[in-house]
C-alpha cells in the first residue's frame, strides 16, 4: 500500500509546479504520508490522511482519480504505464462506494480558484480572518501590524495549518467513531427488530400450539368419556358374563346332581340285583386262611371292641395334639432363646460402644437402662409384648444413632481395656457355645477360669481333661484376640471397634474350619490305623510265605527220600490246570468238569473245586470259608462243597468250595500253585476245576486264578484282608446265578456278609476301566460307560 | 454304576418289595419274583390271564395281581409258593385293587365305583363299603396303617369316612366343604388330612383325624385350580401345584402360604441352569434317519447356562381342549424335605428344583425331551428321572449327570423306580426293564 501511495505522491509532485512554499508543504505531506500507513493499517476506503492529500493534489480536471481501498487506487488511470494499473483488479463496487463517499463529504471537494498568485495576499488575509474567527492566532507578525501592514508569518501559517489538520484529524476520528457507533446502533436496532419479529412469530406459533393442544385435550376428553362409557359397558358385560357363568355353573352342578342321583339310583338297583341274584362266581377262593400278622385271630365285632377302637382313636388324637404342642413349645423356646441371645449380644456390643462413646461425649445419654431383662423374655408374650417391643425398638434406634455418630466421627482415642475384654467375652461366649462346652461367657478372667476348673474337678478325669483343653484353647484364643486388638489399636485406632465387630463375624467361619480340621485329623488317624493293619498283614504274609517255603523244602526232601510210585496220577490228570500261568481256560461253552473217578461229579452251581492230593502227607483237610447256608441250597449236595479224595495213603491238602464260587487270589497262593506246577507229574497235586455255566475273566496280569487258602494262617490273612474296608481293596466280584439267564458284574467292596459272601474275588491291578458300552454276547456282561459318570461321580456320590 | 441285562416285562408292571429283597415283574400272564441282588428268579407264578396290576403287600409276604378284564384278583405268597388265593369280584367288575396296611385284607373297587369290597384273608369274610367316590386319590391310609380315609358321595355331597383298619369300623363320617372333591391325602405323621376340590375350584381343606376342619385355603377363584398336592416327608410343608403355573407352599402350623414358586419362561437369579446337549451320531453317507426318530440318539451331557435371563422353552397350551397342558402337575419332595422337584406342564422339558430351606430355586434342568418320570432316592437328596430316551438322568446338590443305558439302543426308559434302600434303580422301557446298581462304597 505504501508503495502505491508513494507512487501516486511522486506522480503528484512530479506534475505539480508549485512554488517553494508549496513544495515545502508537499514535502511535509510527504513526510506525513510516510507516517500515514502506520496510522491506518486497517483502513479500508476511508483512510483519511494520505488519500485526502493525494486527492487534493492529484486531481486534475476530467481525470477522476478515485480512491480505492487498501491497494486500490485507480480505475480509469490517466497514465497507462503506471505500476498501479496492475491493481485494476479491484472490485468496482468498492470504487463506487468511494465515489459516494466523495460526493457526500464536501471536505474533499476542491475550492478551485480560491487562491491564485494574484490574490494571495487577500487569500492570506481572508485566511487570517477565518483563523482568527476560529480562535487561532494571526498568521501575520504582530509587531508590524500597525505600521506596514501585516507581515505574513509563514511559520505561523504552517503551525496553524498543522493545528487545523490535527483538529481535522480529531474530528475525523470522532466522526468515524460516531459513525461506527451509529452503525452499531443501527445494526442493534436491526437485530432487535429481527428478534421482535422472531418473538412475534413465536407468539403466533405458540398460540397455534395452544389451540392445537386445546383441541387435542378436547378430543382426549371426549375419548375418555367414550372410554369410560365403554368401560362401564364392559364392566356390565363382565358382570353379566359372570352371572351367566355362575348360572351356567349352577345349572351344570344341578344337572350333575341330577345325573348323580340317577347314577346312585342305578347303582342301588344294581346292588339290589346283585344281592338278589347271589352270583355263584363271586367270592374268594383261598387254599388256607392265613393268620394275622401279630398272630392273633380275627376278633369279633362287639360293642366293646368298637369302644376300644374309639378310645384308641381319641388317644391317638390327643397324642397328636400333645406332640404338636410339644413341637410348638420347643420351637417357641428356641425362638425365645434366640431372642435372648440376640438381645444379650446386642446389649454387650452396645454397652461397650456406648461406654466408649460416653468417654468422648460425657453428655451423651445413657441408654443402657433400656435393656430388656431375661425374665421379660420368658414371660407370657402377650403380657409383656408392649414392653419388650418398645424397649427393643428404643435400643435399636439408639444403637443406630450411635452407629451413625461413630461412622461420622470416628473414634479417636484408644479403647479402654475393659471394653475389649467385654467384646472378647462376647466372642469367647460365642465360640464356647458353638463348641458345646459349658463355658460361661465371663471366663476371660483368669480367676474365674481357675474357679470353674476347680468346680469341674469333681467330674471324671477325662471330662475334666476335655474341659481343661477347651478352656486352654479358649484362653489362647482370647489372648490372641487381645493381642490382635492391641495391635489393631496401635495401628488403626479409628477402626478398632469396627474390627472387633468384624472379628466376631468370622467366629462361625473359624469354628467350621476348626471342625473340619478335626475331621481331617480323625480321618488321618483312621488312615494311619489302616496302614498299620496293612503292614501287619504284609508281615504276616511274609511269615506265611516263609513257612510255606519251609513246607515246600520239607515236602521236596520227603519226596526225594521216599520216591513213591504215581498212584493217583492215572486219574488225577483228567483236568490239570495251568493256574499259575494266569489263565483259567474254562469257558461257558466248554465246562470243564472233573472226571475224577472218586469225586462224584455233581452238577453244582458253578463251584470251583480245587483238590490237591498227595499221597505222602498225612490226611488232613482244610476247608475254609465254608458256609452252611450255602450247603443247604436246594440242588446242592454236600459233597460239592467239600470234596475229599479218598485215595489210599493220600490226602487232600486243601479242598474247599463254596457253592457260588469264591476265588481269592494273592501272590502267596499264586506262589503255591507255581510250586505245585513244578512238581513232577506223578506226585503233582490235582487241581480240578469244576465250572458250570461259568465264564471267568482272565485278569490282566499274572496274579490270577483261584485258590483256597492252603493253611489256616493264610485263611486268617484273607479274612483280615476281607475285613479291611479300604479303597485299595478293589476287587472284581463275580456274581452268578446257575439258572439265571444273565450275568452281572460289579465292582464290589462291601464286606462279605451272609450268603452273598461267596463271590469270586479276583484281584485286579487297578479298578476296571472299560470304556464305552461293551456288549459281548459271548460273555453277556454289560458295563456302564464309565466316562459318563467318572467325572461327576466323585461329586455326586459323596 | 452298573447295569444289568434287559429283562422282559409288560406295561411297566415291575415293583420292588417294600422290604427291598424282591423284585416282581409281569410278563403277560406270568408273575416273576426275583432276588434283587442277583436278579435270579426265585418264584414264577402263572396267573389266569394277562396281569394288569400288581401290588406287594406291605409286609412283602404276598403279591396280588389284578386282572381287571376278568374281574379277578390272584394273590401269591412268597414264603409258600404253593399257596393260592383267587378273588372274583363277579359281575360288578373290577376297577382297582389294593392291600390294606395289615397285609391281611384286600380292597377291591367295583366298576362304576359301585362299591368297595374288603376281603379278609384271615377268615374269608367280606365287607362292603358303598358309595365311594370316583377318582384316583379317593382313598388313603395313614402311614402307620391304622386309619383309612375314604371319600364318599351321597346326595351330591362329599363326605369323608375314616375307618379303623383293625376292625374296618367306621370311626368318623363328616361332610366336607367341597363342591366336587378331587382327592385326599394324609400327612405322613397322620395329624392332618389334606382334601382338595376338583380343578374347577381352587379349594384346599385340612381336616384332623376326628373330622374337624383345621384350615381352608383358596388362592384364587374362577380359574382352573389345583393340579397336584404333595406332603413333605417331614409333614411340615404342603406343596400345592395349580393351573396358574405356581406351587404354593403351606406351613404345617398355621396353614398359611410360606411362599409361592412361580415358573417364569425367562429365568433370572442365581439358580444353576443345566442344559442337556445331545451329541448326534455322525451319519453315514446316504443314511436316512429312522422313522422312530429318537431311537438311536447319541450320548448327551449337561452344560451350565450362565447367561441371564435364561430362556426356558414353552409350549403354548390349547385353550380349546379340556385339561389344558399348563400348570404344575408334579411336585415331589426329597426324602429329607430339603428339596422340591416340580414340573410345569407347558414347559415339559424343564425340571425345576427348589431349595426349601433357602426358599429359592436351586437348579433347573433343561432336557432335550419332555420329562416323563422322576423319583427321589429314598435315602438321600438325589433325583433320578427319565425322558423316554435311552438315558437316565440324575441330579444331586453337587451336580447333574446323564448316563447312557448301555444296553440295546432301542431300550427307551419310560419310567424308573428306586430300590427302597437307594442302592439301585429299576429302569422300565415299553417291554423291557433293566436294573442300574449304584455302588455307594466304591464312589465314596
Report which listed range, A348-357, A765-774, B4-13, is most confident: B4-13
Q: How confident is the model over A512-534, as a mean pLDDT?
A: 92
Distance CA B393, CA B386 (A): 6
Of the two residues A494 and A735, the one the predictor is more confident about is A494
pLDDT at site B282: 63
- Chain B neighbors of A693, CB-CB under 8 A: none
pLDDT at site A296: 61
pTM for the model stands at 0.53
Q: Please report which confidence band the pLDDT of residue A346 belongs to, taking 50, 70 and 90 as the band edges.
A: confident
Report which listed range, A146-155, A520-529, B295-304, is most confident: A520-529
pLDDT at site A262: 87
Residues 6+ apart with CB under 8 A from A692: A591, A593, A603, A604, A605, A606, A607, A738
Q: Give the residue extent of every domain in chain B.
A: 1-130
Which DSSP letter does residue B45 get? E
ipTM of the complex: 0.78
pLDDT at site A457: 41
Of the two residues A774 and A185, the one the predictor is more confident about is A185
Residues 6+ apart with CB under 8 A from A428: A439, A441, A443, A444, A474, A477, A478
> With 70 as the cut, is the pLDDT of residue A473 above it?
yes
Q: How confident is the model over A128-150, as a mean pLDDT?
A: 71
CA distance A505 to chain B (A): 21
With a cut of 50, list the residues of chain B below it in pLDDT. 292-294, 442-444
Supply A341's cell numbers.
441371645
Tally: H helices and E strands in chain A: 20, 10
| Strand A760-763, strand A744-748: pairing | unpaired
Q: Over the stretch A195-222, which tens digit does the pLDDT of each residue have?
A: 999 999 999 999 999 999 999 999 999 9
Q: Over the stretch A390-408, which tens digit does the pLDDT of each residue have?
A: 888 888 888 788 777 767 6
Run of H or E including B72: strand B72-77
pLDDT at site A540: 92
Backbone angles phi, psi at A553, to 5 degrees: -60, -45
Chain centroid to CA B170: 28
Of B38, B112, B443, the CB nearest to A793: B443
User: Is B362:B272 a contact under the CB 8 Å cutoff?
Assistant: yes
Residues B245-254: contacts with CB under 8 Å, at least 24 apart: B245/B326, B245/B327, B245/B328, B245/B344, B245/B346, B246/B219, B246/B328, B247/B328, B247/B331, B247/B340, B247/B342, B247/B354, B248/B219, B249/B340, B249/B356, B249/B359, B250/B204, B250/B217, B252/B187, B252/B192, B253/A328
- Asked if the C-beta of A275 comes within 8 angstroms of chain B's C-beta atoms, the answer is no
Instruction: Give me the residues of A, 699-728, that contact B with CB < 8 A.
Output: 725
Query: Choosing among B145, B174, B191, which should be mutated to test the A contact, i.e. which has the most A CBs within 10 A?
Result: B191
Give the residue carrying C-alpha cell 437307594: B422
Supply A109's cell numbers.
471537494
Q: How confident is the model over A492-508, as a mean pLDDT?
A: 61
> With 50 as the cut, is the pLDDT of residue A93 above it?
no
* Contact check, Cβ <8 Å, A797/B441: no
* Contact check, Cβ <8 Å, B119/A284: yes
Query: Choosing among B77, B406, B427, which should be mutated to test the A contact, i.e. which has the most A CBs within 10 A?
Result: B406
Residues 6+ apart with CB under 8 A from B146: A312, A316, B101, B164, B165, B166, B190
pLDDT at site A278: 65
Query: Choosing among B36, B72, B79, B104, which should be mutated to test the A contact, i.e. which has the most A CBs within 10 A?
Result: B104
Supply A119's cell numbers.
490574490
> With 70 as the cut, is the pLDDT of residue A76 above it?
no
* Contact check, Cβ <8 Å, A270/B438: no
Q: Please report which confidence band the pLDDT of residue A460 belongs to, taking 50, 70 and 90 as the band edges.
A: low
Smallest CA–CA distance from A788 into chain B, residue: B403
> With 50 as the cut, is the pLDDT of residue A39 above it?
no
- Asked if the C-beta of A798 comes within 8 angstroms of chain B's C-beta atoms, the answer is yes
> With 50 as the cut, is the pLDDT of residue A591 above it?
no
Q: Please report which confidence band the pLDDT of residue A171 belongs to, taking 50, 70 and 90 as the band edges.
A: very high
Distance CA A452, CA A437 (A): 12
Instruction: Give me the residues of A, 231-250, that contact B with CB < 8 A.
Output: 245
* Contact check, Cβ <8 Å, A306/B167: yes
* Contact check, Cβ <8 Å, A257/B102: no
CA distances to A593, A707, B37, B57, B126 from B31, in Å: 35, 40, 18, 15, 26
User: Is B177:B205 a contact under the CB 8 Å cutoff?
Assistant: yes
User: Is A366:A394 a contact under the CB 8 Å cutoff?
Assistant: no
Task: Show the 3-state SS of A526-548.
Answer: HHHHHHHHHHHHHHHHHHHHHHH
Distance CA B214, CA B253 (A): 10
- Chain A neighbors of B172, CB-CB under 8 A: 313
Beta partners for residue A140, in sequence order: A152
- Asked if the C-beta of A251 comes within 8 angstroms of chain B's C-beta atoms, the answer is no
pLDDT at site A627: 38
* Contact check, Cβ <8 Å, B115/A271: yes
Helix/strand/coil for B417: strand
Helix/strand/coil for A10: helix
Supply B231's cell numbers.
406332603
CA distance A338 to chain B (A): 18
Average pLDDT, chain A: 62
Query: Choosing among A276, A734, A792, which should be mutated to test the B contact, i.e. which has the most B CBs within 10 A?
Result: A792
Q: Please report which confidence band the pLDDT of residue A546 belongs to, taking 50, 70 and 90 as the band edges.
A: very high
- Chain B neighbors of A792, CB-CB under 8 A: 399-401
pLDDT at site A236: 92
* Contact check, Cβ <8 Å, A286/B124: yes
User: Is B71:B89 a contact under the CB 8 Å cutoff?
Assistant: yes
CATH superfamily assigned to domain B1-130: YVTN repeat-like/Quinoprotein amine dehydrogenase (2.130.10.10)
Of A283, A735, A775, the CB nearest to B88: A283
pLDDT at site A94: 45
Q: What percent of chain A is predicted at pLDDT more than 70? A: 41
CA distance A659 to chain B (A): 14
CA distances to A394, A542, A573, A709, B147 from A548, in Å: 87, 10, 25, 12, 68
Q: What percent of chain A is predicted at pLDDT more than 90? A: 15
Q: Please report which confidence band the pLDDT of residue A516 belongs to, taking 50, 70 and 90 as the band edges.
A: very high
Smallest CA–CA distance from B71 into chain A, residue: A282
pLDDT at site B100: 92
Chain centroid to CA B440: 25
Q: Please report which confidence band the pLDDT of residue A526 belongs to, taking 50, 70 and 90 as the band edges.
A: very high
Residues 6+ apart with CB under 8 A from A590: none
Q: Over the stretch A277-310, which tens digit does the pLDDT of each residue have?
A: 766 667 888 877 777 666 665 566 677 888 888 8
Amino acid at each position: 500500500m505504501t508503495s502505491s501511495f508513494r507512487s501516486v505522491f511522486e506522480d503528484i509532485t512530479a506534475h505539480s509546479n508549485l512554488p517553494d512554499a508549496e513544495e515545502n508543504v508537499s514535502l511535509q505531506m510527504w513526510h506525513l504520508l510516510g507516517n500515514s500507513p502506520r496510522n491506518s493499517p486497517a483502513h479500508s476506503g476511508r483512510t483519511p490522511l494520505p488519500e485526502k492529500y493525494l486527492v487534493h493534489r492529484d486531481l486534475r480536471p476530467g481525470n477522476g482519480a478515485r480512491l480505492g481501498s487498501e491497494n486500490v487506487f485507480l480505475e480509469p488511470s490517466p497514465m497507462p504505464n503506471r505500476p498501479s494499473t496492475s491493481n485494476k483488479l479491484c472490485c468496482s463496487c468498492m470504487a463506487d462506494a468511494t465515489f459516494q463517499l466523495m460526493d457526500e463529504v464536501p471536505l474533499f471537494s476542491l475550492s478551485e480558484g480560491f487562491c491564485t498568485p494574484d490574490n494571495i495576499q487577500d487569500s492570506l488575509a481572508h485566511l487570517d480572518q477565518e483563523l482568527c474567527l476560529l480562535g487561532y492566532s494571526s498568521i501575520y507578525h504582530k509587531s508590524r501590524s500597525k505600521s506596514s501592514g501585516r507581515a505574513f508569518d509563514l511559520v505561523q501559517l504552517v503551525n496553524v495549518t498543522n493545528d487545523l489538520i490535527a483538529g481535522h484529524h480529531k474530528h475525523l476520528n470522532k466522526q468515524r467513531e460516531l459513525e461506527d457507533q451509529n452503525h452499531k446502533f443501527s445494526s442493534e436496532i436491526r437485530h432487535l427488530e429481527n428478534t421482535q419479529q422472531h418473538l412475534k412469530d413465536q407468539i403466533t406459533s405458540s398460540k397455534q400450539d395452544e389451540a392445537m393442544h386445546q383441541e387435542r385435550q378436547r378430543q382426549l376428553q371426549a375419548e375418555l368419556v367414550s372410554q369410560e362409557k365403554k368401560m362401564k359397558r364392559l364392566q356390565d358385560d363382565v358382570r353379566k358374563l359372570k352371572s351367566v357363568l355362575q348360572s351356567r355353573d349352577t345349572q351344570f352342578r344341578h344337572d350333575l346332581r341330577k345325573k348323580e342321583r340317577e347314577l346312585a339310583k342305578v347303582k342301588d338297583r344294581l346292588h339290589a340285583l346283585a344281592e338278589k341274584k347271589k352270583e355263584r362266581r363271586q367270592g374268594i377262593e383261598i387254599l388256607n386262611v392265613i393268620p394275622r400278622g401279630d398272630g392273633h385271630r380275627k376278633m369279633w365285632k362287639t360293642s366293646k371292641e368298637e369302644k376300644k377302637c374309639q378310645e384308641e382313636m381319641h388317644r391317638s388324637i390327643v397324642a397328636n395334639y400333645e406332640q404338636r404342642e410339644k413341637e410348638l413349645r420347643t420351637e417357641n423356646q428356641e425362638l425365645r432363646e434366640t431372642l435372648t441371645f440376640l438381645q444379650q449380644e446386642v446389649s454387650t456390643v452396645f454397652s461397650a460402644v456406648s461406654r466408649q462413646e460416653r468417654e468422648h461425649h460425657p453428655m451423651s445419654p445413657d441408654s443402657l437402662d433400656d435393656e430388656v431383662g431375661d425374665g421379660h423374655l420368658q414371660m407370657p408374650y402377650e403380657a409383656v409384648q408392649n414392653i419388650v417391643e418398645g424397649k427393643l425398638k428404643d435400643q435399636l434406634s439408639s444403637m443406630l444413632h450411635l452407629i451413625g455418630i461413630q461412622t461420622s466421627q470416628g473414634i479417636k482415642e484408644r479403647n479402654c481395656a475393659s471394653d475389649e475384654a467385654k467384646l472378647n467375652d462376647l466372642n469367647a461366649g460365642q465360640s464356647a457355645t458353638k463348641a458345646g462346652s459349658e463355658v460361661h461367657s465371663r471366663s476371660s478372667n483368669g480367676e474365674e477360669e481357675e474357679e470353674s476348673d476347680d468346680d469341674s474337678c469333681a467330674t471324671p478325669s477325662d471330662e475334666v481333661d476335655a474341659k481343661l483343653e477347651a478352656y486352654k484353647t479358649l484362653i489362647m484364643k482370647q489372648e490372641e484376640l487381645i493381642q490382635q486388638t492391641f495391635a489393631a489399636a496401635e495401628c488403626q485406632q479409628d477402626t478398632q471397634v469396627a474390627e472387633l465387630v468384624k472379628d466376631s463375624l468370622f467366629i462361625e467361619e473359624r469354628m467350621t474350619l476348626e471342625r473340619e480340621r478335626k475331621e481331617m485329623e480323625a480321618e488321618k488317624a483312621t488312615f494311619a490305623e489302616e496302614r498299620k493293619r496293612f503292614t501287619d498283614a504284609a508281615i504276616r504274609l511274609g511269615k506265611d510265605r516263609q513257612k510255606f517255603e519251609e513246607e515246600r523244602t520239607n515236602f521236596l526232601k520227603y519226596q526225594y527220600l521216599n520216591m513213591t510210585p504215581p498212584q493217583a496220577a492215572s486219574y488225577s490228570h483228567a483236568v490239570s490246570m495251568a493256574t499259575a500261568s494266569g489263565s483259567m481256560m474254562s469257558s461257558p461253552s466248554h465246562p470243564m468238569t472233573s472226571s475224577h473217578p472218586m469225586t462224584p461229579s455233581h452238577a453244582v452251581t458253578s463251584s470251583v473245586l480245587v483238590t490237591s492230593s498227595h499221597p505222602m502227607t498225612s490226611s488232613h483237610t482244610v476247608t475254609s470259608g465254608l458256609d452252611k447256608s450255602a450247603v443247604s441250597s436246594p440242588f446242592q449236595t454236600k459233597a460239592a462243597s467239600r470234596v475229599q479224595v479218598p485215595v489210599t495213603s493220600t490226602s487232600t491238602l486243601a479242598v474247599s468250595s463254596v457253592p457260588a464260587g469264591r476265588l481269592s487270589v494273592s501272590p502267596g497262593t499264586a506262589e503255591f500253585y507255581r510250586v505245585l506246577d513244578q512238581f513232577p507229574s506223578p506226585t503233582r497235586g490235582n487241581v480240578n476245576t469244576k465250572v458250570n455255566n461259568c465264564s471267568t475273566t482272565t485278569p490282566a496280569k499274572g496274579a490270577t486264578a483261584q485258590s483256597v487258602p492252603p493253611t489256616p494262617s493264610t485263611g486268617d490273612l484273607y479274612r483280615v484282608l476281607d475285613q479291611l474296608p479300604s479303597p485299595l481293596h478293589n476287587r472284581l466280584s463275580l456274581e452268578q446265578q446257575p439258572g439265571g439267564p444273565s450275568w452281572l458284574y460289579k465292582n464290589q467292596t462291601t464286606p462279605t456278609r451272609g450268603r452273598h459272601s461267596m463271590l469270586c474275588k479276583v484281584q485286579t491291578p487297578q479298578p476296571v476301566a472299560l470304556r464305552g458300552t461293551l456288549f459281548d454276547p459271548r460273555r453277556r456282561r454289560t458295563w456302564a460307560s464309565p466316562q459318563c459318570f467318572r467325572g461327576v461321580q466323585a461329586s455326586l456320590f459323596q | 454304576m452298573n447295569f444289568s441285562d434287559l429283562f422282559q416285562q409288560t406295561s411297566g408292571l415291575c415293583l420292588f418289595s417294600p422290604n427291598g429283597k424282591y423284585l416282581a415283574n409281569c410278563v403277560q400272564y406270568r408273575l416273576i419274583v426275583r432276588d434283587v441282588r442277583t436278579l435270579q428268579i426265585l418264584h414264577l407264578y402263572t396267573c389266569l390271564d394277562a396281569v394288569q396290576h400288581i401290588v406287594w403287600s406291605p409286609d412283602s409276604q404276598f403279591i396280588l395281581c389284578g386282572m381287571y378284564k376278568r374281574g379277578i384278583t390272584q394273590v401269591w405268597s412268597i414264603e409258600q409258593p404253593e399257596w393260592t388265593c383267587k378273588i372274583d369280584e363277579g359281575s360288578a367288575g373290577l376297577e382297582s385293587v389294593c392291600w390294606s396296611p395289615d397285609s391281611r385284607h384286600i380292597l377291591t373297587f367295583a366298576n362304576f365305583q359301585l362299591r368297595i369290597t374288603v376281603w379278609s384273608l384271615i377268615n374269608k369274610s367280606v365287607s362292603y363299603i358303598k358309595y365311594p367316590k370316583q377318582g384316583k386319590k379317593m382313598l388313603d391310609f395313614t402311614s402307620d396303617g391304622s386309619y383309612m380315609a375314604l371319600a364318599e358321595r351321597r346326595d351330591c355331597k362329599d363326605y369323608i369316612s375314616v375307618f379303623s383298619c383293625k376292625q374296618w369300623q367306621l370311626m368318623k363320617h363328616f361332610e366336607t366343604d367341597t363342591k366336587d372333591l378331587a382327592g385326599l391325602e394324609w400327612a405322613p405323621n397322620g395329624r392332618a388330612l389334606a382334601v382338595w376340590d376338583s380343578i374347577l375350584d381352587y379349594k384346599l381343606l385340612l381336616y384332623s383325624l376326628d373330622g374337624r376342619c383345621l384350615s381352608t385355603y383358596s388362592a384364587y377363584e374362577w380359574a382352573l385350580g389345583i393340579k397336584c398336592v404333595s406332603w413333605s416327608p417331614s409333614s411340615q410343608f404342603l406343596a400345592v401345584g395349580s393351573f396358574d403355573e405356581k406351587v404354593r407352599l403351606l406351613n404345617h402350623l398355621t396353614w398359611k402360604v410360606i411362599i409361592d414358586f412361580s415358573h417364569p419362561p425367562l429365568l433370572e437369579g442365581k439358580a444353576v441352569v443345566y442344559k442337556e446337549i445331545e451329541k448326534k451320531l455322525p451319519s453315514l453317507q446316504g443314511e436316512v434317519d429312522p422313522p422312530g426318530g429318537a431311537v438311536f440318539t447319541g450320548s448327551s451331557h449337561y452344560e451350565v447356562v450362565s447367561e441371564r435371563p435364561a430362556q426356558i422353552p414353552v409350549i403354548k397350551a390349547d385353550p380349546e381342549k379340556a385339561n389344558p397342558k399348563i400348570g404344575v402337575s408334579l411336585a415331589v419332595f426329597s426324602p429329607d424335605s430339603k428339596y422340591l422337584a416340580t414340573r410345569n406342564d407347558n414347559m415339559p422339558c424343564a425340571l425345576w428344583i427348589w431349595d426349601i430351606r433357602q426358599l429359592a430355586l436351586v437348579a433347573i434342568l433343561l432336557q432335550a425331551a419332555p420329562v416323563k418320570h422322576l423319583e427321589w432316592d429314598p435315602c438321600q437328596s438325589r433325583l433320578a428321572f427319565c425322558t423316554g430316551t435311552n438315558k437316565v438322568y440324575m441330579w444331586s446338590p453337587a451336580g447333574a449327570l446323564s448316563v447312557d443305558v448301555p444296553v440295546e439302543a432301542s431300550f427307551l426308559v419310560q419310567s424308573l423306580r428306586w430300590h427302597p434302600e437307594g442302592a439301585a434303580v429299576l429302569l422300565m422301557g415299553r417291554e423291557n426293564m433293566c436294573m442300574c446298581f449304584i455302588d455307594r462304597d466304591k464312589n465314596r
